[in-house]
Amino acid sequence: MPKSQFIDPAKVRQSSKIEFKDIPVNQYDKSIEEEKVNFSKEQFIGIYHDMVLIREFETMLNEIKIKGEYQGIGYNHPGPAHLSIGQESAAVGMAYHLDEQDFIFGSHRSHGEILAKGMSAIHKMDDDTLMDVMKHFFDGTILKIVSENHQGDLKSLARRFLVYGTLAEVFARETGFNKGLGGSMHAFFTPFGVYPNNAIVGGSGDIAVGAALFKKVNQKEGVVVANIGDASMACGPVWEGLAFASMDQFEQLWEGAYKGGLPIIFNIMNNQYGMGGQTCGETMGYDIAARIGAGVNRDSMHAERVDGYNPLAVIDAYQRKLELLKDKKGPVLLDVLTYRYSGHSPSDASSYRSKEEVEAWEKQDCITSYGAELVQSGVVAQDELNAIKADVTELMKYSMTLAIDEEVSPRMDLVKHPELIGEMMFSEGSEDKMEDRPVEVNHPMEENPRVKQIAKKERFAFDANGKPFSKIKQYQLRDGLFEAIADRFYKDPTLVAYGEENRDWGGAFAVYRGLTEALPYNRLFNSPISEASIIGTAIGYAMCGGRVIPEIMYCDFLGRCGDEVFNQLPKWQAMSGNVIKMPVVIRVSVGSKYGAQHSQDWSSLVAHIPGLKVCFPATPYDAKGLMNTALQGTDPVIFFESQRIYDIGEQFHKDGVPEEYYEIPFGEPDVKKEGKDITILSIGATVYRALEAAKELEEKYGMSAEVIDARSIVPFNYEPVIESLKKTGRILLTSDANERGSFLKDMAQRITELAFDELDAPPVVVGSRNWITPAYELEDYFFPTKDWIMDAVHEKIVPLKGHSVANNFTNAEIIRRSKLGI
Amino acid sequence: MANAIIMPRQGQSVESCIFTEWYKQVGDEIKTGDILFAYETDKASFEQEAEEDGVLLTTFCEAGDEIPVLQNIGVIGQAGDDISGFGQEAAQEDTAIEKAESVEEEVVDSQVELVLKDRVSNDKVRISPRAKKLAEAELVPYKKIEGSGPEGRIIIRDIEAYLASVPKTTPLAKAIIQEEGLQAPENGSGLDGIVKSTDLSSNPVYSDDFEIKKLPNIRKLIAKAMHASLQNSAQLTHHLGADARRLLELRKQVKATEGAPNITINDMVCFAVIKALKQFPDANAHFLGDSVKYFNKVHLGLAVDTDRGLMVPAIKNAEDLSITGLSNQFKVVAESCRQGNIDPELLSSEAASFTVSNLGNYGVEMFTPVINLPQVAILGVNTIVPRPADLGGGVYGFVPYMGLSLTYDHQALDGGLATRFLKQIAIEIENLSIDT
């Protein structure tokens, strides 16, 4: 909503019609003869070779899956193998022009793309760079294996490297490209520009856009290709990726070198089936997938259907589309028509298609027909093609023999190193900046209006007499967040932040107020209302080496980016074998007052997912310190904030919130008030209600309560809680999350396990009711209050003399509610 | 009209008393002078007479309650009188204190009272892990404890309350109890009632052959005072005999004289002691650790045996009294002690400057009295026995001798001085003259 853009009613209300540009379909019609001016013999043969390489790789896996052997070598591979036999020309055509600076993202069926892109990169890289890559990848482990008995040039060594590394990964070997932690559906190799392949259909549809954003924001060479299946065009996140990639602001608001479209090609590998569902005629309505482009932007995404059965047609299309991207005219949509003969997976009986159909496509097989044309047009003799086939078969036998050798290619030894995977879940890095170059900002920090305003605020909430300053004078929690984030923007040139209303408005809760003045569009911008793309692009951005703060305005919207938060963000560091780092700090705001879809604390949901760090500060001091830590790290952090306390002042840190930079380590709970009779452990904004309860316990019942603020929940150090418990013997846990299945329950169980003998009563959880959140006026019946805490203490922990309860915490009531599921 | 019965105030320093017993039931007719109830201070036990006629309408306390003095403990009046205005606070006079206390009273004590119960054997025992851990470590028979937690669960405060109510156990005794699965006795023979290994009996035949009674307050106080005395001073005792012929002669004279006051041997000895004390101010003193308090006058404490226990009332300014006056005073305070209405101020060990304990009546020949700290000495008076003595001129005969046992605090007095003082007492006894 920039003021520079005037929405003129006279103009927008005018009568007119939308005219679509034509979307070409299979218009390539050149023969080999005609293409001889564009391709050398080596290039023609190279294309053939790469297709054969893929075909043989997939055939090998197919034989292993179906017969348990390949070329007489027996092996059992119980893991997945989604093969692309028939699609080789589409993959090779896609990769032909791309070098290692161009990044491809793929799907569960991407072996072909890995090999095609890998070969293309190998061809284009100079020997020194290539050697350097192989030498340094996992300390040269793979290179050492494939170098043995190798004869030939470096390119052929690199081919071995590529095939072996991919196959070892498919077989889950520690010597695979991702230490065997990715496997068939996730294998990738970033030094060749092969970025994560995704087992979630359409998963790359928004992640790849983030990679393109990284290229643009950080002015990097190269383009990004999102290889996604035709069936993924039904997935919301793919559409969100399209929407994000085609935002007008790139052209209309971004300035200078940043102006213009994202360098991305959505490459639909259109094999015409989504598992067994036929996209044209059954499960989709686009008829020709390229049609989708018409609905996305004025340029119809330069969409085109290309005959993917002809590698030269695909190469031709890429040549033209890459020119468009060079002119900053992206995004581009390509509908690359192809066909897979192999089943979706080896268990596929192809019951959804006729034998005749498969045979008809086989008759036009992309490799056979391309080879025949090459021979026909005199480029190459059949013998040479046969020799290629024989050579590739030998390469596969060689690679397979090595990859299944337990000595050469062992799996991770989890007996010897039981925590190996555990140690890979987080990268635990500490990086001031992700790249070393000047930061792009609009003015020095001290000239910033928000910075000037904060300078006048009181960094501790109370004056010398213990009287609180007025709210407006107090340095608030939102100021703590601002300081940490602004500081990082001035340190890390790669840092970007975006989300809904992040620019101009300053974020819905005024955390970013002042940042609009400080930062150009390419560092802070408004995203579409499209959480999957907000998080998905952030993941892609981080995968490429950037640091990013995506914002989810209300916690309740986390569901809108469920796959991104649950399946993508937490997984890629470990699944890459720690090749990839994920410095993504998702700001999530927990609401209140706005009812059932704007008031939920879902910290428990993300805490459940391995691979995410989760924190929830409740004071300005903690907010700034934890945000600094989150932004200094290289791990994904879900950073919860509560709308109840954005304006809270610092009540605990007597010296006030430091102006300088400091970090608060994740996982360390903080004692907000000492006591000896009962411990109250809080997550988030409930800490203030816990303190009220502590006050009443003390004044009315002579019990001194220790109030501990968890601050972060993943990781979490239980030791201080156990220490407190040793003193008090009693513990109550509280947060605004629904109590059923909440993280508090997990903590209660852990505490019981770790300190059973210290307990004088079971750990008692006081969370919200398992209801919808009612209106603001009824919230006291839904969210924990001081009185709930008092009642729970009385009922479940230690009867308070003379206390009369208003809320039912009895066992009978718990059983009743559980029976009803409420 | 109904009137409050209040807990009497006993001396300036007594803030509260332990209520011991009601002698009347609610509804009983009361006559002025009837003994209404009994109570104890930390120094003595008392009985309170009714101050008006009427009916005991209600009571607010029971045996063992600690009641602040001047607080309302019951109501006396006519049947049918409105008693709704008599809360426990109604009789409080000191509003300043009341205010200060009323603020504190908002805080409900989180401590609980210990309740023991006979649990039926198949009753389920609910006990928290923390409470159980402590109970097992301290050998608390927790199955007998009524839990104060949710659903009757025994929680840590119940075990703590139990532990506060019973004597401690020595580590050895604890180990033996655990090994042999014994029940810890409620009272031990060690210091402060600590249960020692010798208190344990694993023989079931004898194990019940005793009865354990709680100490009355006064016993506890005496125990504490005596123990403290021996712990906190360097006591030793010198024994010396005094020729008692003069005393016996005087006593004979008193008895023979009709109408003369009944001056006892003890009166005479005390009179002699006062005279000796006047010459030995070092013995008429309190030892205060880093200083000594010398008294100008003699305030003589006299140990009195009563049913309630040993009491040592002081006769203030005893040296100002004639022997008759002294004798009368002794009779009055001794009787007050036996009646239990002695001014508690006079029972304080600080009240006397020196104490005499006379066991001569009982035939005790020698003993080592225990000093009433902070006094520096105490004289034990023994029975009179005939002893061979050189009567002069080569003649030996039996002479009645009275044994004197002076226990003194060597911190305050040296042996020579103590000996000379004791000897002086003997000289005074041997040369006593009384002026009746």
pLDDT one-digit tens code per residue, A258-310: 999 999 999 999 999 988 889 999 999 999 999 999 999 999 999 999 999 99
Residue after which a domain boundary falls, among B167, B186, B207 = B207
Q: Measure the CA angle with vertex A588, ends A582 and A592; round to 5°.
A: 170
User: Is B320 in the same domain as B253?
Assistant: yes
User: Is B83 in the same domain as B226?
Assistant: no
Per-domain boundaries in chain A: 32-412, 445-645, 670-820
User: Is B322 in the same domain as B403?
Assistant: yes
d(CA A27, CA A307): 8
User: Is B247 in the same domain as B291?
Assistant: yes
Any A CB within 8 A of B109 CB? yes
pLDDT confidence bin for A347, thresholds 50/70/90: confident
Any A CB within 8 A of B92 CB? no
d(CA A493, CA A433): 7
Are the beta carbons of A434 and A492 closer than 8 angstroms? yes
d(CA B415, CA B235): 11
Whether residue B116 is contained in a domain is answered as no
Whether residue B123 is contained in a domain is answered as no
User: Is B341 in the same domain as B240?
Assistant: yes
From chain B, the residues in CB contact with A800 under 8 A are 108, 110
Q: Scan residues 721-740 of A and list those with Cβ closer than 8 Å to B.
A: 729
d(CA A568, CA A206): 11
Q: How far is B86 from chain A (nearest CA, A)?
A: 22
With an 8 Å Cβ cutoff, are B155 and A798 in contact? yes
What three-state secondary structure class fits A585? strand
Any A CB within 8 A of B104 CB? no
Q: Which among B109, B128, B151 has CB closest to A760?
A: B128
User: For every residue of chain B, which 3-state class applies, written as one string?
Assistant: CCEEEECCCCCCCCCEEEEEEECCCCCCEECCCCEEEEEECCCCEEEEECCCCEEEEEECCCCCCEEECCCEEEEEECCCCCCCCCCCCCCCCCHHHHHHHHHHHCCCCCCCCCCECCCCCCCCCCECHHHHHHHHHCCCCHHHECCCCHHHCECHHHHHHHHHHCCCECHHHHHHHHHHCCCCCCCCCCHHHCECHHHCCCCHHHHCCCCCCCCCHHHHHHHHHHHHHHHHCCEEEEEEEEECHHHHHHHHHHHHCCCCCCCCHHHHHHHHHHHHHHHCHHHCEEECCCCEEECCCCCEEECEEECCEEECCEECCHHHCCHHHHHHHHHHHHHHHHHCCCCHHHHCCCCCCEEEEECHHHCCCCCCCCCCCCECEEEEEEEEEEEEEEEECCEEEEEEEEEEEEEEECCCCCHHHHHHHHHHHHHHHHCCCCCC
From chain B, the residues in CB contact with A798 under 8 A are 110, 149-150, 155, 157
Q: How far is B150 from chain A (nearest CA, A)?
A: 6
Any A CB within 8 A of B153 CB? yes
From chain A, the residues in CB contact with B155 under 8 A are 760-761, 798
Q: Which residues contact B239 (CB under 8 A, 6 or more apart)?
A: B366, B403, B404, B405, B406
d(CA A345, CA A59): 12
pLDDT for the residue numbered A793? 96
User: Which fold does the domain A670-820 belong to in CATH?
Assistant: Rossmann fold (3.40.50)
The residue type at B404: L
Query: Per the omega criterion (within 30 degrees of 0), is the bond before B129 cis?
Result: no
User: Is B194 in the same domain as B264?
Assistant: no
- Mean pLDDT, to the nearest integer, of A544-553? 97
Any B CB within 8 A of A796 CB? yes
Supply A694's token pair.
Answer: 């502590």
Yes or no: is domain A32-412 CATH 3.40.50.970? yes
With an 8 Å Cβ cutoff, are B108 and A800 in contact? yes
Measured in Å, how far apart are chain A's first and last C-alpha atoms? 42
ipTM (interface predicted TM): 0.75
With an 8 Å Cβ cutoff, are B150 and A800 in contact? no
Any A CB within 8 A of B157 CB? yes
Q: How many CB pairs under 8 A join A and B?
A: 57
pLDDT for the residue numbered B433? 82
With an 8 Å Cβ cutoff, are B129 and A760 in contact? yes
Q: Which among B109, B110, B149 has CB closest to A677?
A: B110
Calculate the CA dihedral of residues B304, B307, B308, B314 and round it to 10 degrees.
-10
pLDDT for the residue numbered B208? 54
Any A CB within 8 A of B130 CB? yes
With an 8 Å Cβ cutoff, are B108 and A801 in contact? yes
- Mean pLDDT, to the nearest integer, of A58-65? 95
Angle between helices A719-728 and A743-754 in degrees, nearest 10: 70
User: Is B412 in the same domain as B376?
Assistant: yes
With an 8 Å Cβ cutoff, are B150 and A761 in contact? yes
CA-based nearest residue in chain B for residue A762: B128
- Mean pLDDT, to the nearest integer, of A308-321? 97
pLDDT for the residue numbered B165? 82
pLDDT for the residue numbered A693? 98
With an 8 Å Cβ cutoff, are B110 and A801 in contact? yes
- State how many domains chain B has: 3
CA-based nearest residue in chain B for residue A704: B110
How buried is B225 (Cβ within 10 angstroms: 0-12 exposed, 13-18 middle, 19+ buried)?
Answer: middle
Any A CB within 8 A of B128 CB? yes
Q: What percent of chain A has pLDDT over 70?
A: 100
Any B CB within 8 A of A280 CB? no
Question: What is the secondary structure of A188-206 as a DSSP string?
Answer: -BGGGTEEEE-SSTTTHHH
Residue after which a domain boundary falls, among B175, B207, B239 = B207
- Mean pLDDT, to the nearest integer, of A359-386? 95
d(CA B267, CA B302): 10
From chain A, the residues in CB contact with B147 under 8 A are none
Find which of B156, B157, B159 to mutate to test the A interface (most A CBs within 10 Å of its CB): B156
pTM of the complete model: 0.73
Are the beta carbons of B195 and B169 closer than 8 angstroms? yes
Sheet harboring B29-30: ordered strands across?
B3-6, B72-77, B54-59, B29-30
Find which of B102, B104, B110, B127 to mutate to test the A interface (most A CBs within 10 Å of its CB): B110
User: Is B426 in the same domain as B316?
Assistant: yes
Any A CB within 8 A of B152 CB? no
> What single-letter DSSP state applies at residue A589?
E
From chain A, the residues in CB contact with B153 under 8 A are 761
User: Is B423 in the same domain as B304?
Assistant: yes
Catalytic residue among A49, A598, A653, A803: A598
From chain B, the residues in CB contact with A758 under 8 A are 129-130
pLDDT for the residue numbered B331? 87
Whether residue B325 is contained in a domain is answered as yes
Residue after which a domain boundary falls, among B207, B229, B262 = B207
The answer to which of A31-35, A608-612, B361-365 has the lowest mean pLDDT is B361-365
From chain A, the residues in CB contact with B130 under 8 A are 729, 757-760
Any B CB within 8 A of A407 CB? no
Mean pLDDT of chain A: 95
From chain B, the residues in CB contact with A702 under 8 A are 107-110
Any A CB within 8 A of B419 CB? no
Any B CB within 8 A of A697 CB? no
pLDDT(A404) > 90 = yes
Q: Which residues contact A131 (CB under 8 A, 6 or more apart)?
A: A154
From chain A, the residues in CB contact with B108 under 8 A are 700-702, 800-802
- Kindly give the pairing relationship between strand B29-30 and strand B54-59: antiparallel
From chain B, the residues in CB contact with A729 under 8 A are 128, 130, 156
Which one, of A71, A79, A70, lies nearest residue A345 by Cα?
A79
User: Which fold does the domain A445-645 belong to in CATH?
Assistant: Rossmann fold (3.40.50)
d(CA A323, CA A302): 12
Q: Measure the CA angle with vertex A815, ends A811 and A817; round to 5°.
A: 115
Q: Which among B108, B153, B155 has CB closest to A701?
A: B108
Which one, of A738, A739, A729, A740, lies nearest residue A763 by Cα?
A729
CATH number at residue B95: 2.40.50.100
Which one, of B100, B73, B68, lies nearest residue B86 by Cα?
B73
User: Is B99 in the same domain as B184?
Assistant: no
Any A CB within 8 A of B204 CB? no
CA-based nearest residue in chain A for residue B105: A700
Residue B418 structural domain? 220-430
User: Is B397 in the same domain as B332?
Assistant: yes
**pLDDT tens-digit readout, A649-691:** 999 999 999 999 999 999 999 999 999 999 999 999 999 999 9
d(CA A736, CA A556): 13
pLDDT < 70 stretches in chain B: 11-14, 42-43, 87-111, 117-123, 181-184, 186, 201-210, 435-436
pLDDT(A809) > 80 = yes
Do the domains A670-820 and A445-645 match in fold?
yes
Active site residue A598: yes
User: Is B301 in the same domain as B362?
Assistant: yes
Any A CB within 8 A of B110 CB? yes
